[in-house]
Amino acid sequence: MRAMVSKRPGERLRLEERAVPEPGPNQLLLRVLACGVCRTDLHLVDGELPMCRHPVVPGHEIVGQVAKMGDRTRGFAVGQRVGVPWLGGACGRCRYCHSGQENLCDDARFTGCHLDGGYQDFVLADFRYCLRIPNSYSDADAAPLLCAGLIGHRAHRMAGAAETLGIYGFGAAAHIMAQVARHQGQRVHAFTRPGDRAAKDFAAGFGAEWVGDSDKPPAEPLDAAIIFAPVGSLIPAALRAVRKGGRVIAAGIHMSEIPAFPYALLWGERMIRSVANLTRADGEDFMRVAEEVPIITTVTPMRLEDANEALDQMRAGRLQGAAVLVPDLAGETPTVAEGADSTQ
């Protein structure tokens, strides 16, 4: 099978031929139908996530079809479509796991970081961390739901019952959560890079009632703001934009340095909070939301071999919505090799 591998931080992905692995206990072998390209993958490849191992196959927005089942797996069947998110496993024993905060587990393992991810033809996944995907979404359309949607959902919940919601950085996560916010009656204010007309039009097309540059104040004070862009200077900008008692949610796994700002921006019981990973409960809850809304995802399908080009486009800000790698886009369907090596 083919795999796009991050051999060392800062290097481009390399295409490798690998044996199809055999699923071990609690594992599903999935044929990858689609895998979204997330900004976290870009941080990984660029060497900004030191906790991730190398070499590793990136990709944690995986839509797959069960090809084989290992011992002790249950609740799924061969041929079934499932989703694999960022959280690939947790210890189940620590204070965080016992308190519904498995996303903070010190021994958590993340897909495409500690575990090989979906930039390949087949992937292994722990069935206990897989998600059922609503049938109304195609494979490519469902892929961004598995991180852009899930992390966006957790951030949106942390923002609370905001009547006016600001969103900084209008990409894959933002265009999903803008639809959810609008569905719930919230008024969306979108902040984009100064001079980026395409991003402003994109945000307006998804229901933002006010769209402006990220370095400018909104038309009115916000109840809450979510920052999806990995830009530390947006923290004080968002604090200026929210009212007293407002919340600023930093939703990325990596952010550039936050500049110093006067205490007056934080005073008035404003709050800054980060989002770290997700829980299985988040995933199950958001899939129910995705079935109810429904959500339109803007995707650009690309070949598996074009993963570097997808990352380049994201780095340059040329993508609207999300790039999605589709391994059989060229019409080739990989087969499962009997007795293949089980090493991940």
- Give residue 39's domain range: 2-137+297-325
Q: Give the max Cα distance, the chain.
A: 65
Closest among 154, 118, 180, 124 to 327, alpha carbons compared: 118
In a domain, 249, yes or no: yes
In a domain, 163, yes or no: yes
Query: Same domain for 200 and 133?
Result: no
Query: Same domain for 127 and 10?
Result: yes
Question: What CATH code is carried by the domain that includes residue 28?
Answer: 3.90.180.10
In a domain, 286, yes or no: no
In a domain, 213, yes or no: yes
Q: What angle do CA 282, 247, 51 make, to 5 degrees?
A: 55
The span from the first CA to the last CA of the chain, in angstroms, equals 13
Query: Same domain for 93 and 65?
Result: yes
Question: What CATH code is carried by the domain that includes residue 201?
Answer: 3.40.50.720
In a domain, 88, yes or no: yes
Say how many domains are in the chain. 2
Position 67 scores a pLDDT of 98
Handedness of CA 109, 114, 115, 119 (dihedral sign): positive
The pTM of the full predicted model, rounded to 2 decimals, is 0.93
User: How many Å apart are CA 323 and CA 260, to the nearest integer?
Assistant: 35
Query: Same domain for 89 and 131?
Result: yes
Beta strands in 18-161 (DSSP E): 27-36, 62-69, 81-84, 87-89, 109-110, 122-126
Query: Same domain for 37 and 110?
Result: yes
Query: Same domain for 56 and 175?
Result: no
User: How many Å apart are CA 120 and CA 15, to the nearest integer?
Assistant: 9
Query: Same domain for 155 and 56?
Result: no
Position 331 scores a pLDDT of 58
Query: Same domain for 158 and 215?
Result: yes
In a domain, 332, yes or no: no
Q: What is the pLDDT along the chain (344 residues), one digit of tens a residue?
A: 999 999 999 999 999 999 999 999 999 999 999 999 999 999 999 999 999 999 999 999 999 999 999 999 999 999 999 999 999 999 999 999 999 999 999 999 999 999 999 999 999 999 999 999 999 999 999 999 999 999 999 999 999 999 999 999 999 999 999 999 999 999 999 999 998 999 999 999 999 999 999 999 999 999 999 999 999 999 999 999 999 999 999 999 999 999 999 999 999 999 999 999 999 999 999 999 999 999 999 999 999 999 999 999 999 989 999 999 999 986 555 555 433 333 33
Query: Same domain for 10 and 130?
Result: yes
Query: Same domain for 185 and 78?
Result: no
Do β-strands 14-17 and 299-302 pair in parallel, antiparallel, or remain unpaired?
A: unpaired
Exposure b/e, 202-238, CB count within 10 A at least 16 = b:
bbeebbbebbbebeeebeeebbbbbbbbbbebbbbbb
Question: What are φ and ψ of residue 224, in 5° steps?
Answer: -160, 160
Quick check: 117 and 58 in contact, CB under 8 A? yes
Query: Same domain for 49 and 119?
Result: yes
Query: Same domain for 98 and 194?
Result: no
